[in-house]
């Protein structure tokens, strides 16, 4: 006789693992669906009990109860969706497709529950008489607003239509993401002739050979991971191969066949606009930005244009310099996008005497992880102890217990650093469990996921400076999740306005280039010698190099995103034509492409988190440039009083307070764009 499901399914019993981390080795694909079905049933029963409560409406029996409801569903979904992105397979992807409309229907059953909304609305109408804490008042306001923005005030056909739109958008987002992953599993290049390796460093050749072995192939493979393809585009002296690799990289999602994302993106845009209209907004951008710091599309457009104009001018001037450099080497070419990184690196080496071959040996992965940890220790008193007894979902994942200076437990942190075919591209932070105090003191389980090239066995992983910035960036997000200290789960950690969420991550990048951090942790992989002071000086001097290019490729993507969502362009019938229309209007330099072409722009089409919101990295950078200046003004990058304010008002505060108020509490005022322009070197004439 088979054992009862409640015994055999690990999601339906208590976890006895350290810190109740998911018992990954006990979880199989077949456990997810029945656990989710049962979790949904329990959640709806909990919601029904709140709605049917005949006692007078109170904050405790309505908002507190709602915040605590759905705990089992959060538990199962957090594991499933984390693994669907970081260690997927065919079975998980099939289940993800099946779950997309099902999860959307369930979410709508809660957010469009008429009885539940009546209680929330009744509570909100007398909010000024309730003697709520500031956090409770914000949670009530955000809860009601979330229900209204989901369609709670709609009736009849409009209500049914918004349900259908939500379910369809969930399906499309899943298809878009899976199509990109499928296209990324096709290597950029498979090289079999040593002549094809011209210009490549020994470390890149070794990494490409390892990638080939992983795929059961001879020779060398250049994958579509940024940590592999970007070094190839920089180093390779074979222009034909650079072109082939670049076109493979930038054509993800538009290669025809079943993984082509153009129709999916077009339908997504149309449905988003229809939903916005149903909810009373002129455009989807107006709907989306209402709850962000920017508030309206005009504010976003002004920021992007203020940065675009100087960045474009500098990029065009740099393009002319690179074409002259190519001509001086006998290459009579018109600079193309697959040439920029190659000649830009040569110019950088000439101008600052810096090369990746010189720099990368000082940036080993293990040392840079320790650098991120040590910085958090000096700023916030945190310690990170490896824990071999904490379960992980893949052998490459590392687990750490995070403690306060007094020894109190803060969080579990996991680092998943190497790229693999089962992982989507990019880098991100996520949580297997969030922080809260409403249902007892619950501390988070946070994960950083990246895609660094895995070195051959027995060798150290060497990172580029951009790789290390990514590591520090994502660790800044992780700290935002780990240091969270609020009561309500809905406003914990990174549950903040989209154009505020990048502040803690982008700000943390600044400590990478603090000389003391580099001297302590950037040590040569072979000799153990600390990074020389003159190299630190050259890296610092070069920090603003090629920022015209970096800013243009990013802002162009943000402009395309905004234009498609505020009605400036119509991507609903021809996605690439709309993209081209924006690029033509803003005068996109010929030799630079968008950082994310629309057919693989996962930020805006693999779900709606960054839709009409890709600008938020830049919005947050305005704040992070100004925020780090607080340490400079105090005379030390580790000034204790500034670090205390930073922890209290930024890293620990979650979304329990309006983000503008949080920033003002930390800095004493709101920032201007000037600090960002100076940071990127865009305040100088081209």
Mean local confidence (pLDDT), 47-53: 98
pLDDT band at 7 (very low <50, low <70, confident <90, very high): low
Nearest C-alpha neighbor of 143 from the set 67, 68, 71: 67
Residues of the chain with CATH 1.20.1050.40: 5-111+113-150
* Torsion 186-192-197-200 (CA) sign: positive
pLDDT of residue 4 exceeding 50, the answer is no
For residue 427, what are its two tokens?
């880098």
> How much is the mean pLDDT over the chain?
95
CATH number, domain 5-111+113-150, options 3.30.750.24, 1.20.1050.40, 3.40.50.2000, 1.10.1240.10: 1.20.1050.40
CB-side neighbour CA atoms (13 Å) of 5: 10
Pairing relation of β-strands 409-418 and 445-452? parallel
pLDDT single digits (tens) 366-387: 999 999 999 999 999 999 999 9
Nearest by Cα to 288 from 57, 562, 601: 562
State how far the Cα of 99 lies from the Cα of 95, in Å rounded to an integer. 6
Judge whether 229 and 466 are in contact, CB under 8 Å.
no
DSSP H helices in 412-499: 465-482
CA 412 to CA 391: how far, in whole Å?
Answer: 11
> Are the beta carbons of 260 and 250 closer than 8 angstroms?
no
Confidence at 3, pLDDT banded by 50, 70, 90:
very low
Active-site positions?
474
Q: Is the model more confident about 118 or about 5?
A: 118
Q: Is the pLDDT of residue 336 over 90?
A: yes
Residues 6+ apart with CB under 8 A from 290: 281, 296
Contact 616, 562 (CB under 8 A): no
pLDDT digit string (tens) for 498-548? 999 999 999 999 999 999 999 999 999 999 999 999 999 999 999 899 999
Per the CB < 8 A criterion, the answer to whether 433 and 445 are in contact is: yes
> What are the counts of helices (DSSP H) followed by strands (DSSP E) for the chain?
29, 7
- pLDDT for 249-281, tens place per residue? 999 999 999 999 999 999 999 999 999 999 999
What pTM does this model have?
0.93
Rounded mean pLDDT, 644-650: 98
For residue 5, pLDDT beyond 60? no
pLDDT at residue 2 is higher than 50? no
Pull the structure tokens for residue 491. Answer: 């406003």
Answer whether residue 553 shows pLDDT above 60: yes
Distances in whole angstroms, Cα of residue 150 to Cα of each of 102, 108, 272, 288: 17, 8, 12, 12
Residues 6+ apart with CB under 8 A from 183: 224, 251, 252, 253, 255, 259, 600
Q: Is the pLDDT of residue 6 over 90?
A: no
Measured between alpha carbons, how far is 100 from 89 in angstroms, rounded to an integer? 16
Average pLDDT of 403-430? 96
The three state secondary structure string of 334-384 is CCCHHHHHHHHHHHHHHHHCCCHHHHHHHCEHHHHHHHHHHHHHHHHCCEE
Burial readout 340-375 (b: 16 or more C-beta within 10 A, e: otherwise): bbbbbbbbbeeebebebeebbbbbbbebbbebbbbb
∠577-579-584 over CA atoms, to 5°?
90
CA angle 565/566/570 to nearest 5° reads 65
Question: Furthest-apart CA pair in the chain: how many Å?
Answer: 84
| pLDDT value of position 1 | 35
Residue range 72-109, pLDDT digits in tens:
999 999 999 999 999 999 999 999 999 999 999 999 99
With a cut of 80, say whether residue 202 has pLDDT above it.
Answer: yes
Distance of alpha carbon 613 from alpha carbon 499, whole angstroms: 7
pLDDT at 682: 87
Identify the band that residue 686 occupies on the pLDDT scale cut at 50, 70 and 90.
Answer: low
- Nearest 5°: the CA angle 251, 256, 259 is 85
CA–CA gap between residue 627 and residue 506 (Å, rounded): 10
Q: Which secondary-structure segment (H or E) carries 146? A: helix 134-150
316/308 Cα distance (integer angstroms): 12
Q: How confident is the model at residue 13 (pLDDT cuts 50, 70, 90)?
A: very high
Chain segment 265-324, per-residue pLDDT in tens: 999 999 999 999 999 999 999 999 999 999 999 999 999 999 999 999 999 999 999 999
């Amino acid at each position: 006789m088979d054992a009862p499901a409640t015994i055999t399914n690990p999601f339906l019993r208590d976890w006895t693992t350290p810190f109740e981390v998911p018992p990954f080795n006990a979880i199989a694909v077949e456990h997810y669906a029945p656990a989710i079905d049962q979790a949904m049933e329990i959640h709806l029963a909990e919601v029904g009990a709140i709605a049917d409560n005949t006692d007078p409406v109170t904050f405790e029996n309505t908002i507190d109860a709602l915040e605590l409801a759905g705990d089992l569903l959060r538990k199962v979904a957090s594991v499933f969706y984390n693994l669907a992105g970081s260690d997927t397979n065919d079975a998980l992807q099939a289940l993800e497709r099946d779950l997309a409309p099902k999860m959307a229907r369930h979410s709508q059953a809660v957010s469009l529950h008429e009885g539940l909304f009546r209680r929330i609305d009744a509570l909100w109408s007398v909010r000024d008489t309730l003697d709520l804490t500031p956090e409770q008042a914000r949670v009530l306001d955000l809860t009601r607003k979330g229900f209204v923005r989901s369609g709670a005030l709609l009736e009849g056909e409009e209500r049914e239509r918004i349900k259908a739109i939500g379910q369809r958008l969930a399906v499309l987002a899943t298809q878009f993401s899976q199509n990109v992953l499928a296209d990324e599993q096709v290597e950029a290049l498979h090289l079999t002739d040593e002549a094809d390796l011209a210009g490549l460093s020994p470390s890149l050749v070794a990494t490409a050979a390892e990638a080939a072995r992983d795929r059961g192939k001879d020779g060398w493979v250049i994958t579509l991971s940024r940590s592999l393809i970007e070094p190839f585009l920089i180093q390779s002296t074979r222009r034909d191969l650079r072109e082939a690799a670049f076109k493979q990289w930038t054509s993800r999602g538009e290669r025809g066949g079943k993984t082509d994302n153009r129709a999916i993106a077009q339908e997504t845009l149309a449905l988003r606009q229809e939903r916005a209209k149903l909810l009373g907004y002129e455009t989807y951008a107006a709907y989306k930005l209402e709850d962000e710091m920017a508030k309206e599309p005009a504010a976003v457009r002004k920021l992007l244009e203020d940065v675009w104009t100087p960045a474009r001018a500098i990029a065009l001037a740099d393009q002319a310099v690179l074409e002259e450099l190519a001509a001086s080497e006998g290459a009579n070419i018109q600079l193309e996008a697959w040439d920029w990184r190659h000649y830009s690196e040569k110019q950088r080496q000439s101008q600052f005497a810096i090369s990746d071959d010189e720099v990368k040996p000082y940036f080993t992965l293990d040392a840079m992880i320790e650098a991120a940890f040590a910085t958090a220790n000096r700023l916030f008193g945190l310690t990170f102890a490896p824990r071999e007894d904490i379960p992980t979902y893949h052998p490459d994942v590392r687990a750490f217990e995070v403690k306060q200076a007094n020894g109190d437990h803060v969080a579990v942190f996991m680092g998943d650093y190497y790229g693999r075919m089962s992982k989507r591209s990019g880098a991100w932070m996520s949580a297997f469990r969030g922080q809260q105090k409403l249902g007892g003191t619950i501390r988070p389980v946070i994960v950083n996921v990246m895609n660094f090239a895995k070195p051959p066995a027995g060798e150290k992983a060497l990172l580029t400076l951009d790789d290390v910035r990514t590591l520090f960036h994502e660790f800044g997000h992780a700290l935002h999740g780990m240091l969270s200290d609020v009561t309500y789960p809905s406003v914990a950690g990174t549950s903040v306005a989209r154009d505020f969420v990048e502040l803690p991550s982008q700000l943390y990048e600044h400590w990478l280039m603090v000389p003391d951090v580099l001297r302590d942790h950037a040590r040569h992989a072979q000799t153990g010698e600390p990074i020389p002071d003159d190299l630190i000086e050259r890296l610092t001097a070069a920090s603003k190099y090629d920022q015209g290019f970096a800013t243009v490729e990013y802002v162009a993507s943000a402009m395309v995103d905004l234009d498609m969502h505020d009605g400036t362009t119509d991507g609903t019938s021809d996605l690439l034509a709309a993209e081209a229309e924006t690029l033509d209007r803003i005068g996109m330099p010929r030799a630079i492409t968008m950082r994310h072409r629309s057919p693989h722009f996962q930020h805006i089409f693999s779900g709606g988190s960054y839709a009409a919101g890709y600008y938020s990295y830049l919005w947050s950078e305005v704040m992070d440039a100004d925020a780090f200046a607080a340490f400079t003004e105090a005379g030390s990058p580790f000034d204790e009083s500034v670090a205390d304010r930073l922890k209290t008002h930024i890293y620990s505060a979650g979304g329990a307070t309006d983000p503008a108020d949080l920033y003002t509490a930390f800095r004493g005022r709101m920032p201007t764009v000037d600090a960002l322009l100076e940071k990127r070197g865009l305040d100088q004439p081209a």
